[in-house]
Amino acid sequence: MTPADAETSGTGGGLRYLTEEACPDVVAQEQSHSCQVACARQLLIDAGVFVSEVELLAQTEYYEGSGTDATDVARTLTALHPDFEYAGGGSFLKYFATFMTIAPWIASLQTDSGSIHAVIVDRSVGDVVHIRDPWGASGPGSEFGCRATMALKDFKRYWRRAYYVVIYRKRPRQETQP
Amino acid sequence: MTVAEAKRTLELEGIYVSMSDRESFWIAGSFEFVEVGRDNVRLSQDACVLFRKNDHWQAVLPGLGMLTREVYGSLDELVALIVSVYRHYRQSGGPLYRAVEQVVADAERYLVGGVPARV
């Protein structure tokens, strides 16, 4: 993994990553504001469910130029994920440690350029947060997304500015009786 | 207005306020407790934040999808604005971003996030 240039790293320069590396096992978002859906797609792929971004967008309310709502993406994830039900909405800083116990989860971050961008939070080690970012090396439509690391204090600052929006697995899927 | 007075003003309106430090408010009209593993967390569909940024205060209010509206001002001004937004939200229903659009004068001016960074 290479050290990231603070001027150019993360979401076209909007997030201050410590390191950043394009990875073939991380999907890239295909639309300018489809980052939440791309993160959901990655969690589905992790669970062995292969679905295109186009198919996911068709099942999620996507506002061109505005993106998606966390509750809606959580609903789509719940419908398609084989193992878990998901929830989404605005949370609070004090729950960061709680969310880390059930990682990976999706966080919305407000970048330095003002846009809200969703990433997958995989783990937190000391003062460093490990992230999968669907933005990709050349933005939407890149071949791959990135694995990146970010200082915990920066992560909390970016997360606060997006009022701590999360999408996370709340419990194992409840099977209904036929 | 002091930080304590701001918190009290919001709470008297029935608005939920949580603070991570003396200069950062997390504000919600409502929330529910949702499971996270063996714990429960507060999860809101109508949250915003208010925090000090250098010598002024900044409110980040929701827009459609992943857009936000950022309004700068004094603590007094922003608390008054947030109270108005949540009053309108409760009276008119619908998502919080609609109330923001209707209460914030010249709301489009404060919209951020429409164009991702250096595409």
Q: Domain limits at B58?
A: 3-112
Domain containing A44 — which CATH number?
Answer: 3.90.70.10
Whether pLDDT at B115 is above 60? no
Which chain A residue's Cα is nearest to B52? A161
Q: Answer yes or no: do A164 and B43 touch at CB < 8 A.
A: no
**Does any domain span residue A76?**
yes
Which chain A residue's Cα is nearest to B70? A114
In the predicted model, what is the mean pLDDT of chain B?
Answer: 89
**Does any domain span residue B98?**
yes
**Does any domain span residue A23?**
yes
**Does any domain span residue A5?**
no
Q: Kindly state the average pLDDT of the residues B109-118.
A: 63
**Does any domain span residue B119?**
no
DSSP character for A63? Answer: B
Two tokens, residue A128? 């460093």
Return the pLDDT at B28: 95
Q: Domain limits at A69?
A: 16-172
Residue recorded with tokens 């008054």:
B80
**Does any domain span residue A9?**
no
| Cα distance between residue A144 and residue A70, in whole Å | 23
**Does any domain span residue B94?**
yes
| Cα distance between residue A109 and residue A87, in whole Å | 17
Two tokens, residue B46? 């109508």
**Does any domain span residue A6?**
no
Check CB contact of B109 with chain A, cutoff 8 Å.
no
What pTM did the predictor assign? 0.91
Q: pLDDT tens, B28-86?
A: 999 999 888 778 899 999 999 999 988 899 999 998 888 889 999 999 999 999 999 99
Q: Answer yes or no: do A168 and B113 touch at CB < 8 A.
A: no
* Closest CA of chain B from A59, distance in Å: 15
- Phi then psi for B37, rounded to 5 degrees? 60, -120
Which amino acid belongs to residue A9?
S
Q: Answer yes or no: do A98 and B112 touch at CB < 8 A.
A: no
Name the domain count of chain A: 1
* Whether B75 contacts B30, CB under 8 Å: no
Q: Answer yes or no: do B36 and A36 touch at CB < 8 A.
A: no
Q: Residues of chain A whose pLDDT is less than 50?
A: 1-3, 5-8
* Whether B116 contacts A115, CB under 8 Å: yes
Check CB contact of B18 with chain A, cutoff 8 Å.
yes
Name the domain count of chain B: 1
Q: pLDDT tens, A50-95?
A: 999 999 999 998 888 888 999 999 999 999 999 999 999 999 888 9
- Phi then psi for B102, rounded to 5 degrees? -85, -25
Interface test with A, best of B43, B45, B51, B60 (most A CBs within 10 A): B43
Q: Answer yes or no: do B66 and A36 touch at CB < 8 A.
A: yes
Which chain A residue's Cα is nearest to B17? A92
Which chain A residue's Cα is nearest to B48? A163
Q: How far is CA A117 from CA A35, A48, A94, A113, B91, in A?
A: 6, 25, 21, 10, 31
Of A110-119, B21-30, B106-115, which one has max mean pLDDT?
Answer: B21-30
